[in-house]
Structure 1
Amino acid sequence: MKKPIVLLLSAIMAATLITGCGKKDTPKEDTTKNETGNEQTENTKNDGGKKTLTVTTWDNDTTPQFSATIKAFEDAHPDVKVEVIDTSADEYNNKLTVMLAAESKDPDVIWVKDMGSLLSMASKKQLLELDEFIAKDNVDLSVYSGAAEQLQVEGKSYSLPYRSDWYVLYYNKDLFDKAGVEYPSNDMTWAEYEELARKVTFGEGSDKVYGTHNHTWQALVTNWAVQDGKNTVVAKDYSYLKPYYEQAVRMQKDGIIQDYATLKTANIHYSSVFKNQQVAMMPMGTWFIGTMMQSQTSGETDFNWGFATIPHPEGVAAGSTVGALTPIAIGANTDVPDLAWEFVKFAASAENSKTLAENGILSGIQSEESFDIIASAEFFPSECKDALKYTNYVFDRPLDENIDEVRTVLDEEHDLIMIGEYTIDEGIKELQERVAEIKGY
């Protein structure tokens, strides 16, 4: 049973859901056979007769992770106009579910936010199989170092690796200097991280600087519990989560991190918290490197920042991290499959990996060259290049058929623990029982 405050939180969050979908302007249609033998309708727009391609993104205005690729593709294909269907990161999967259930022609191309939703969409036949396209164009999957095979569902390719991300620890150099505290190192345990966060918490009221920041994702607690590779978030026994929740609750109680309920009800984005210099540190994915570089390029921010490798549990090697792939796929109902494939192939190419690196983004193709490009880019904190490298990498969630259901339970129990409606033990007990019911344990 949900407590009244949880219902209130849910109602407020539900009110922010954006359910509108983008549509193509299709004044002219020419139905032909595409190269794989399927019928397609070639759409054109009135403005110069350009072909139209719709793509889904999240938080497109705050990061170049998608816009850089879209611009590069349009520059290389002047006869194509890419239309973006953008949603906030927190609501992306919900909106995509609604869109795909409608079985409309849009979207043509889908950036997949996590591998769990990839499995769900593939099982529902909402994605186009890519194997014929891959074979036709002799795409070498080995450049993805095994990642392309990890994305396969029952031996079939429904996507290509677009981006690879893992967690690092961002910090505000100016705030550390103001507090007279040394910057984070590339070898800190989570206990040392908490101690450091307490040292750089200072000020009062609206001028308060919090030592660090936990965004509202449950991953900002559960990730550290699976960092050693011994557990996953689909489990029979969730007792391994307890020390990490104890730390999060303790730091919240002591005012080292911001209040969870406030962040949740106000729908506060983590980027604004860091950009507004309200926090000295913040664990977040490598995608945020590009966001900060873009922010400084535009003049939105001008403070000094850097990042270190993510802290690690006691007994786990420094440089161990947690991450995920961002796949790119084609909607099964697209009316321009060949054009959509050209975009997907381009987005996941070695050529585009250099464009992404110039914008501080790590693609699905990793190389020393891409690290060098990123480190030499304007506004990249060049002394932090070594922090990009990791010694061990585990996925934040497994490719499990029930992962979306399990994640819903994880999110709900995370809410209850962090707002104090459940004790940690009560939350873990509920989590365990609910997941057991889903998995049939």
Structure 2
Amino acid sequence: MKNTALAVLMILITAVVFAGGGNDSGGTSGGTVTIQVANWDTANMPYVPVLIQAFETANPGVKVEIVDIPSADYNQKLTVMLNGGSDVDAFWIKEADMAKSFNNRGQLMDLTANIRRDGINLNDFNGLAENFVFDEKTVALPARTDYYIMYYNKDIFDAAGVAYPSNNMTWPEWEQLAARVTSGSGNTKKYGGFLHTWQACVQNWAVQDGKHTIMETDYSFFKPYYEMAIRMQDAGTIWDFGTLKTAGIHYSSAFLQGNVAMMPMGTWFFSTIIDRINKGESKVRWGISVLPHPAGVEAGWTVGSTTPMAVNNASKKKDAAWEFVKFVTGPEGAKIYAAGGSLPARSNSQTLADIANAPGMPEGSLDALQVKHISLDRPVADLVADVNNMLGEEHSLIMLKQVSIDQGLQNMARRSKQIQNK
């Protein structure tokens, strides 16, 4: 699959070259400008050098040098670099919520005027761009994304004589469907659903409507989804939390071994499924559908994360840096991301079709990948990491039934207030 993706990427470079890309040199006429762009683990991202080559071809007055940093050190080193007045001109933000702290320190260029001048429609980012607007200033643009969809096992549905999941299903309907396809017992049991141990696999459905975030101090909106998870656990239609934790059962092994009929999980998982099948390590016959949605919310609303790009406010080459950010987050960059098997933040029918038609993807993938809005699982806000860690602790206590749902939600509210009022 990697060879195929790389071949497609090279074809796309040619297409961008002959199309001209529609970009100018960002005020760089009269000589070549070299910009430095920070990224992590570039060797594992074959689309990054392709993005650079395509950009440089469309912008002959600009050269791009990657400042490559190991993933584990990226956040810390990028922070040190920006604090120290580094020559880095633009950068990918590995953890979207860090954009807030960078902005608080005045390290992100205000892109608002550039966006308006170049006619960029922020609606093309499916609700992601609005997360990087502070004091009415847009300081970053989403480049790529991952979001939750529903994975399902065709063999389990076929054996039960039940139709595959639809692309317009509410969470209560999902719970009912899971009960219909649960069968067997012991080591041969087939579970109708699977909720991984991450708190996201309960709490995300509560922020899916875009009305709430994990940074609130009243978590009563989590309650219906905890009630659903506990009901399903008690009914045996999902693995119980304690068994998953004690036995160390990972979502990938549970699904790939054919023990699970339906599982909400991120778009990153389909490359793992294809790889395992190609290696002969799994025989699962799989499909995907749109993530179930809350009642009253339109199908196609989902939850995910994004990797944004920004320009260093201290850069002396802002024009050229902006042109690179605009290219990577624009239509040309989206095509290259898609050809490399990654979901661009700016998605349309063509970019999604590139992914849906990749070798190994199941029939019907294009419809399943359609989204209308992506709510961030972790909002771009101060102290979000501290609040998220706390919610994980309280989540475990609820799922293990060491506290009631109501008590757990009260504990979350109390602790969230303590963290945010420091």
| Fold match (TM-score > 0.5) | yes
The match for 1:159 is: 140
- Match for residue 172 of structure 2 among 191, 204, 208: 191
Q: Which moved more, 1:312-321 or 1:289-298?
A: 289-298
Query: In the alignment, does 2:113 pair up with 1:129?
Result: no
The match for 1:55 is: 39
Residues 136-164 of structure 1, C-alpha deviation per residue, up to 9 Å, x if partnerless?
9x865336636545413345554321124
Query: In the alignment, does 2:350 pair up with 1:379?
Result: no
Residues 23-65 of structure 1, C-alpha deviation per residue, up to 9 Å, x if partnerless?
xxxxxxxxxxxx99xxxxx9xxxxxxxx99762369x97xxxx
- Match for residue 145 of structure 1 among 124, 140, 150: 124
Q: How many angstroms does 1:284 deviate by? A: 1.7
Equivalent residue of 1:141, what SS? coil
TM-score normalised to structure 2 length: 0.72
CA separation in 1, counterparts of 2:74 and 2:247?
Answer: 23
The match for 1:413 is: 394
The match for 2:18 is: none
- Match for residue 95 of structure 2 among 106, 113, 118: 113
The match for 2:370 is: 389
Q: How many angstroms does 1:188 deviate by? A: 2.2
Number of paired residues? 380
Q: How many angstroms does 1:306 deviate by? A: 1.3
Q: How many angstroms does 1:225 deviate by? A: 1.9
Query: In the alignment, does 2:201 pair up with 1:220?
Result: yes
Q: Which moved more, 1:261-270 or 1:318-327?
A: 261-270
CA separation in 2, counterparts of 1:277 and 1:336?
Answer: 53
- Match for residue 358 of structure 1 among 331, 334, 339: 339
Q: How is 1:175-190 mapped onto 2 (pairs within 5 angstroms)?
A: 175-190=156-171
The match for 2:11 is: none
CA separation in 1, counterparts of 2:39 and 2:257?
Answer: 30
Query: In the alignment, does 2:70 pair up with 1:85?
Result: yes
Equivalent residue of 1:55, what SS? strand
CA separation in 2, counterparts of 1:226 and 1:176?
Answer: 29
Q: Which amino acid aligns with 1:201?
A: T
Q: How many angstroms does 1:223 deviate by? A: 1.9
Q: How many angstroms does 1:429 deviate by? A: 0.9
Instruction: Please tell me whether the aligned partners of residues 166 and 285 of structure 1 are also in contact (alpha carbons under 8 angstroms).
Output: yes
The match for 2:17 is: none
TM-score normalised to structure 1 length: 0.69
Q: Which amino acid aligns with 2:348?
A: S
Equivalent residue of 1:382, what SS? coil
CA separation in 2, counterparts of 1:293 and 1:140?
Answer: 38
User: Share of identical aligned residues, percent?
Assistant: 39
Equivalent residue of 1:257, what SS? coil
Q: How many angstroms does 1:232 deviate by? A: 3.1
CA separation in 1, counterparts of 2:318 and 2:250?
Answer: 35
Q: Which amino acid aligns with 2:368?
A: A
The match for 1:307 is: 288
Segments of 5+ residues of structure 1 without an aligned counterpart are 1-34, 37-41, 43-50, 62-66, 88-94
CA separation in 2, counterparts of 1:152 and 1:316?
Answer: 24
